[in-house]
Structure 1
């Protein structure tokens, strides 16, 4: 097993398999898009599987496949199948925008996928097109509908709250859990790839979710959900589904962090926010060298991301990450 300097055990891998995406969400990518990595700079299927095998020998048991949009890879189903068959890997999940999910959900389920996270920031078709800069919400809703019939262990909807764009839909998302067995996860907008001025103007604290519950007479209780995420979860009395809060800004987010992130071009990021990263691609065939690089990254991992940058002396590379969210995998 692998631990960082604060004795946190790491057993959860977030693995980006592409930086490409068919959307341009406002919190994830600039309006003009980004130059994507050339194909030879992106980890191959064999490299991905060998990397996961290395990590499994180091105690990693849960893998979340991310992007970009992972369903854009034509070999995504085979990647899922091969990762699921790695000794020691107990749970494989994927984060997707859902546009191709109606087509691929059954194949992913058959390949062994356990869980799904689907990005959905609004139920309004016009607003969805604006937030994603061109997306068709019906494709996502169709994908959710297909996936809901396939008995995945859990389906989660990821909803990034942005002031003036979708914060007036909190009640609608809460009520969606009444008849749908999903976990709606409200996520605070983070200052990654955005100016602090823009971020401060658009940030919404998650206390608003509780306020809306109380003002609408919705009783809720804390619940435990199995899975990999950092959310605090609740269920409204009489509702089939649940809701979760992921608050990297307003509340403790990092003290129990068990996550390692691998970018599509083969870098390890022990912390989502900071620029520090190590290229591990060439070390994938050499397990001893690979483990040493992973441990080096963990040894430099801060206790907290400190997005307010109040403890930058603890960080070796004292700058926020240059990558946009689509280039990290979230």
Structure 2
């Protein structure tokens, strides 16, 4: 296994394949994608070398993310490529769902195991206000199709923000009453470009947790390949509720994931000061050298992010590295 100096094991890779996004969410890209980085994103050969290197180091799960990964025409090929890598047990994708209904059959047939969709409100007007797009009905059709296909691990990500969705817990609870999905409320995280929005909109997930426990929800034991979310179930509900609270005590204690950007940089934390360039090894298809570079980097992994000190590292917005 890939370990750090604090005894944590890393079996989960979050792989960004583009930093481009076609939505303009208020908390991430309020002015839309600005094209302020090179667009020579990792190609399939480089991704193959990268995923094989991580698999050799004990990685079991790969999440394909962005930006919006479904803007790449070869995303289905990348899903299949990751799934066919020896050692990789689970392939997931995080998407805004803009073309999910049209693509989910392809993704499923390519071997997709898990699906995360960003939906910050179930109110169409509020959804449009947050994202800049009137796509909610179409996205929900894609989720229904994913359920029909038998994809069991479906999660909905909703960022908590005072100005937009602080009072919409009931809407999501009503939805998961009969819908076998997990809705995960994510605390707003500060980024380099989002300090003012953070100050105006940050909400602690603890208030949601208190409400859930008061209503008879029970906390679920976390799986070994799962991220840091706290999940809750209720005997009267088909679906589950999750909470991701990066400002809570010991949030990073169970960290099990590493990130690679769409330009081939290894990020030991979402809020690290810089990435470690793996591109030369990937470009030459040198898997052993990639393995060595990843192992060498682990000595620089810190015990925790420093969001509580308002230190956001090199992350100017969440789309640049996939959140």
Partners in 1 of 2:140 and 2:129 — Cα distance?
Answer: 17
Pair 1:105 & 2:98 matched: no
Partners in 1 of 2:58 and 2:23 — Cα distance?
Answer: 34
Which stretch of the first structure deviates more once superposed, 142-151 or 116-125?
A: 142-151
Equivalent of 1:273, from 271, 282, 285?
A: 271
Residues 226-254 of structure 1: per-residue CA shift (max 9 Å, x gap):
45221111112311111111100134310
Cα deviation, residue 172, structure 1: 1.2
Residues 110-143 of structure 1: per-residue CA shift (max 9 Å, x gap):
1100000010000111111111123421121111
Asked whether the 8 Å contact 2:128–2:135 carries over to 1, the reply is: yes
Which stretch of the first structure deviates more once superposed, 254-263 or 203-212?
A: 203-212
Cα deviation, residue 32, structure 1: 4.5
Which stretch of the first structure deviates more once superposed, 276-285 or 262-271?
A: 276-285
Pair 1:219 & 2:216 matched: yes
Show the counterpart of 1:316. Answer: none
Partners in 2 of 1:282 and 1:56 — Cα distance?
Answer: 19
Show the counterpart of 1:17. Answer: 17
Give the aligned CA root-mean-square deviation in angstroms: 1.8
Show the counterpart of 1:78. Answer: 77
Partners in 2 of 1:172 and 1:152 — Cα distance?
Answer: 23
SS in 2 for 1:158: strand
Partners in 2 of 1:197 and 1:21 — Cα distance?
Answer: 22
Q: Normalized against structure 2, the TM-score is what?
A: 0.94
1:150-229 aligned at under 5 Å gives the runs 150-213=149-212, 218-224=215-221, 226=223, 227-229=225-227
Asked whether the 8 Å contact 2:270–2:315 carries over to 1, the reply is: no
Partners in 2 of 1:243 and 1:267 — Cα distance?
Answer: 33
Q: Normalized against structure 1, the TM-score is what?
A: 0.92
Partners in 2 of 1:117 and 1:192 — Cα distance?
Answer: 22
Which stretch of the first structure deviates more once superposed, 55-64 or 135-144?
A: 135-144
Equivalent of 1:259, from 247, 257, 260?
A: 257
SS in 2 for 1:171: helix
Which consecutive residues of structure 1, in runs of 5 or more, have no partner in the other structure?
A: 313-318
Which consecutive residues of structure 2, in runs of 5 or more, have no partner in the other structure?
A: none
